[in-house]
Amino acid sequence: MDAKPEPGPLSESSELLFSFGVIADIQYADLEDGYNFQGSRRRYYRHSLLHLQGAIEHWNKESSPPSCVLQLGDIIDGYNAQYQASEKSLELIMNTFQRLKVPVHHTWGNHEFYNFSRDYLTNSKLNTKFLEDQIAHHPETVPSENYYAYHFVPFPKFRFILLDAYDMSVLGVDPSSPKYQQCLKILREHNPNAELNSPQGLAEPQFVQFNGGFSQEQLNWLNEVLTFSDRNQEKVVIVKVSVQHPWACLGPRDLALSVQTPPASCYCYNLMFQVTTQHSAHSSPQHCSKHTPSSPRVYPLLDAELQTQLRR
């Protein structure tokens, strides 16, 4: 594992360009506390609403409010579906988000698809594609309606690209559809287990049912947007529900124990390394200063920090 790059010194005269809030895995349900699928991590289903309210209160009180908030998926827990409470729980969370004074960009994770179909999500308040940026005279940067992805500019020369990490997945898709059959075929080719959510014995443990991947159509579109950003010297942040780099799956406890193998079942079928690394200078967004070279950069958003600030 490569050493984490040390941030460069910031000048005392560094100017705050903008900030944005990040929240993920709210996983609300009107239930008593429980545990995750593996039984290894406590889940505070009902209490998560208080955390969301606290985050919103914090953002609203900021002297320099964030330009937007990124909600990185799993907004309500899959247990809601078992209790026919999906719509009620989603309405409660979305009403809470209405107190926020800045725009929210929503991504979709596996728990969204445990509760709703893709068609439902497309027509719901969790579809924030109306906030997208449209680049004049560049139709190749317009996303297809076949996947949920778009890009936007929270500040000049910074482009955020929100991706659909479940574009290729059996979740939320009609089992009789060709896309479901295609995704199931891919899944079974890489996962012979009777329980498709189990990575046991897999050489590529990301091929489990609760994961997803990117279609070639979406990757081609991403490449076009990154190419535009390259040519226009924009810095780019990739936004999606699942991580891009396997080491980002590790938590503080794993790092403290010097775990050598990341739990690969937590990242996408196709990792998107090739399409992003050819556009990337591998820097951290926190280190942008007025002394930063003007070369285009890609910043994969790998964790759920409460707020990230970009400086120059």
> pLDDT tens-digit profile of 165-215?
999 999 999 999 999 999 999 889 988 999 988 888 988 888 888 888 889
Burial 27-58 (b: 16+ CB within 10 A, else e): bbbbbeeeeeeeeeeebebeebbeebeebbee
Cβ-count burial of 295 within 10 angstroms (0-12 exposed, 13-18 middle, 19+ buried)?
A: exposed
CA dihedral 91, 95, 96, 99 (to 10 degrees): 170
Percentage of the chain modeled with pLDDT above 70: 72
Domains of the chain: 18-131 (3.60.21.10), 133-301 (3.60.21.10)
Round to whole Å and give the CA distance between 271 and 25.
21
pTM for the model stands at 0.80
pLDDT for 157:
95
CB-neighbour burial class of residue 275 (10 A; exposed 0-12, middle 13-18, buried 19+): middle
pLDDT at 117 over 60: yes
Count, residues in the chain: 312
**Which residue stretches of the chain are H helix?**
48-61, 79-82, 86-97, 110-115, 118-122, 178-190, 216-231, 252-256, 273-277
